[in-house]
C-alpha cells in the first residue's frame, strides 16, 4: 500500500499502467476500488492514478474536511506519483474536487472531465439548514420528506400504436418519462401489454 500525507491525513493512492497520466477522483463514500470497470482499458494507454478520498477506503478520516482540502489531497497524490501534469477526471463529489483542483492549479491539468457533478460557485445559494441532516436520517423518513412523484400515464408506446395507430396523447405531449423503454416493458407475467410506470 502506498500512502502520502496531506495536511493532517494519510491518503492511500495507487498508480498502474504506462503512458499519459490520468488522475481519477471518486465521489462521496466510495473508495478508489470503484474504478475497477475502467482500469483495464485505461491502463492500456495511460498511467492511471487513483486514491481514496478522506474517510473512504484506506485513507484517514478527519473531521470537517472541505473540498479545498480534498483538492489539496489530489495534488499531494499527483506529486507523490511524480507527475507534473495529468488528465483529471472526477465523478459526483469527485467532480467538485476535480473542478476545485483545476481552478486552483490549472498548470497541473492536461484536461479536466467532470462527471455527474455540480460545482460550488459564489452566486449559488446554499441549501436550507436541513440539507446536512438528510445524511443522518433514516431512509424511510427521507422518502416521506420527498415531493410526491408525478402521475405517469399507464400505457406504453406499443399499446398506443395498437389502439390508435398513432402516438398516444401522453407521448405527443411528452408527459411521460424521457428514458427509453426497455424491450421487456410491455411484457408482464399475465401477458398484459400495459404496466404501471
* More confidently predicted of 16 and 193: 16
Q: Which of 14-18, 53-57, 111-115, 133-137 has the lowest mean pLDDT?
A: 133-137
Range of the domain at 57: 2-120
In a domain, 140, yes or no: no
The answer on 95 and 30 residing in a single domain is yes
16 and 91 in one domain? yes
Q: Do 99 and 156 share a domain, yes or no?
A: no
Joined together, the cell numbers standing for residue 25 give: 477522483
Q: Say yes or no: 25 and 74 in one domain.
A: yes
Which range has the worst mean pLDDT, 4-13, 27-36, 76-85?
A: 27-36
Q: Is a pLDDT exceeding 90 seen at residue 167?
A: no
Tell me the CATH number at 109. Answer: 3.40.50.1820
Given a cut of 50, is residue 164 above it in pLDDT?
Answer: no
Quote the number of domains for the chain.
2
Range in 85-89, 146-150, 184-188 the model is least confident about: 184-188
pTM: 0.64
For 2-22, give one letter per residue: b (16+ CB within 10 A) or e: ebbebeebebbbbbebeeebb
Question: Do 84 and 176 belong to one domain?
Answer: no
Q: What is the mean pLDDT of the chain?
A: 77
Residue 186 belongs to some domain of the structure = yes
pLDDT given at position 128? 56
Amino acid at each position: 500500500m502506498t500512502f502520502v500525507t496531506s495536511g493532517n491525513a494519510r491518503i492511500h493512492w495507487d498508480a498502474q499502467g504506462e503512458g499519459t497520466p490520468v488522475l481519477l477522483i471518486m465521489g462521496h463514500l466510495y473508495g478508489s476500488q470503484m474504478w475497477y470497470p475502467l482500469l483495464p482499458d485505461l491502463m492500456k494507454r495511460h498511467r492511471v492514478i487513483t486514491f481514496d478520498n478522506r474517510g473512504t477506503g484506506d485513507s484517514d478520516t478527519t473531521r470537517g474536511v472541505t473540498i479545498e482540502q480534498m483538492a489539496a489531497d489530489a495534488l499531494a497524490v499527483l506529486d507523490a506519483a511524480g507527475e507534473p501534469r495529468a488528465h483529471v477526471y472526477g465523478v459526483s463529489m469527485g467532480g467538485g474536487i476535480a473542478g476545485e483542483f483545476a481552478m486552483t492549479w490549472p498548470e497541473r491539468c492536461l484536461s479536466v472531465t467532470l462527471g455527474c457533478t455540480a460545482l460550488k460557485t459564489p452566486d449559488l445559494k446554499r441549501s436550507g439548514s436541513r440539507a446536512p441532516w438528510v445524511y443522518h436520517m433514516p431512509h424511510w423518513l427521507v422518502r416521506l420528506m420527498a415531493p410526491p412523484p408525478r402521475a405517469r400515464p399507464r400505457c406504453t408506446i406499443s399499446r398506443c400504436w395498437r389502439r390508435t395507430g398513432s402516438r398516444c396523447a401522453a407521448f405527443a405531449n411528452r408527459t411521460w418519462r424521457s428514458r427509453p423503454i426497455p424491450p421487456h416493458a410491455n411484457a408482464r407475467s399475465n401477458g398484459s401489454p400495459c404496466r404501471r410506470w
